[in-house]
Amino acid sequence: MQSDAIQGGNYMIVNHQREGFVFRHPMEDRSRAPKRVYALYPGVQPSGNWKIDKTDKGLYVLTANGGTAGYYKHEDGTFVFAFLDGPLGEDARPVDWKITKVDTTEGRTGYIVTTKLPDGQPVGWTLSGAAESTFGLPIAVRPLVSTRTEPPQYLPSEVFEFTYAHQ
């Protein structure tokens, strides 16, 4: 049986709604600017794995090719980015994430990835509300939708599979 808690290590992440890997796009620019994280199109291989470290507070630091995952607020929404050189401000910064094992509304098990914005609003990774791009579907950071059952169930667009990558 799978443990409820993610252990530190290297992982591949896939969203339950789309079968492409979740990562930075392998053809991104080479600047030090923050890099957007996508649900890549099926068949596109990521340029690495996520490095996941558990903090002493039980949260997680997620790193993709040297960039620490956080959120970046744009005029069209808030999205997951990998920050190579630290925060740009309160609305664009790396954060520690909570990774929680849940069930989807379709009966599958996976994980939600959540944090709180500076105003205290709980938000998480989702494909809902993000427009397709040439690289894939950007991972948005928004309030998650769940059923009112106990335990709550989440939409497949909000649930992710973490697969340990032996390296």
Q: What is the pLDDT of residue 63?
A: 98
Given a cut of 90, is residue 143 above it in pLDDT?
yes
Given a cut of 60, is residue 1 above it in pLDDT?
no
Q: Give residue-wise pLDDT tens across range 93-114.
A: 999 999 999 999 998 999 999 9
Is 9-164 CATH 2.60.40.420?
A: no
Given a cut of 80, is residue 167 above it in pLDDT?
no
Percent residues over pLDDT 90 in the chain: 84
pTM of the model: 0.94
Q: Band of the pLDDT at 19, cuts 50, 70, 90?
A: confident
Q: What is the pLDDT of residue 2?
A: 42
Q: Give residue-wise pLDDT tens across range 27-60.
A: 888 899 999 999 999 999 999 999 999 999 999 9
Tokens of 72: 């970046």
Percent residues over pLDDT 70 in the chain: 98
Q: Is 32 exposed, middle or buried (0-12, 13-18, 19+ CB in 10 A)?
A: exposed
Which residues, at least 6 apart from 66, have a Cβ–Cβ distance to it below 8 Å? 82, 84
In the chain, domain spans: 9-164
Using alpha carbons, list the distances in angstroms from residue 131 to 65, 127, 128.
24, 9, 9
Average per-residue pLDDT for the chain: 93
